[in-house]
Amino acid sequence: MTAIVPMGSVFAAAMVVGLKILERQKMARFRKQTILIKGIRQAEHSVQRPRAHASASAQEMEQLLAEIRTAADLLVCALANEEGLRRMALETQDPAEDSQIERLQMYRERAEQLQAEYYDSVERYREFVQSLAPPLRAKAAERGQDVMTLACV
């Protein structure tokens, strides 16, 4: 004997199964979002504070690299300002005007000062690399070279 199941019961059972599947999918999305949010917070937290387990050498290296980046940024800005002033002086009708020449000289001196500061920071980093154990030098030198190359772009 075959039992006849009312259509409403089949439909209700299908609805229950469908709702359970949707609930599982919703919980899976929620877990993924929670994991993603935790990961983002951990990444933000690690960026804001230096890692507690980072060695003193690693922290010193990061500090020296940050100094190189800052010095490079300042130097690039100073050179851009100097170039902008030079172009303005050439475009004016009286390029020999004393105030413009004095300003250009002041910008040139500032750029030279910032260039010396950049070279000092690079030299401090090179000395730091030499103070490292030989197996660590290559990677540290590569990091420094990357920072100096990116600073020039």
65: closest CA among 150, 151, 147?
A: 147
Amino acid code (one letter) for 121: S
What is the mean pLDDT, run by run of 10 residues, along the chain of 153 residues?
61 70 75 66 55 74 92 89 82 68 87 93 94 90 85 53
The structure tokens listed for 23 are 């609930």
Global confidence as pTM: 0.57
Rounded to a whole number, what is the largest CA-CA distance in the chain? 112
Q: How far apart are CA 101 and CA 88, in angstroms?
A: 11
Cβ-contact 144, 129 below 8 angstroms: yes
pLDDT for position 67 = 92
CB atoms within 10 A of CB 144: 19
> According to the model, what pLDDT value does residue 128 have?
94
CA separation for the pair 37, 137 (Å, rounded): 36
For residues 129 and 141, give the distance between their C-alpha atoms in angstroms, rounded to a whole number: 6
- d(CA 80, CA 37) in angstroms, rounded, equals 41
